[in-house]
Amino acid sequence: MAWQILGDSGKSGNDMICYCDLLKLHLFKVTMILVIATNNYMTHNLGRVL
């Protein structure tokens, strides 16, 4: 869906919306990766301490 909007150069407004959505999706993925990595790190360290 996103690539269809990006492919239509006649609608710059849609390009902007699509770009924002892609940015939000990217930030969400990065946040999830950081959360999972932090959880794994904390669990690993707690396991070593206990």
Which is higher by pLDDT, 31 or 44?
A: 31
pTM for the predicted model, two decimal places: 0.52
Domain ranges within the chain, ordered by starting residue = 22-50
What is the pLDDT confidence band of residue 14, given thresholds at 50, 70 and 90? low
pLDDT at 36 over 70: yes
Residue with tokens 């959505």: 21
CB 18 within 8 A of CB 1: no
Average pLDDT value for the chain: 77
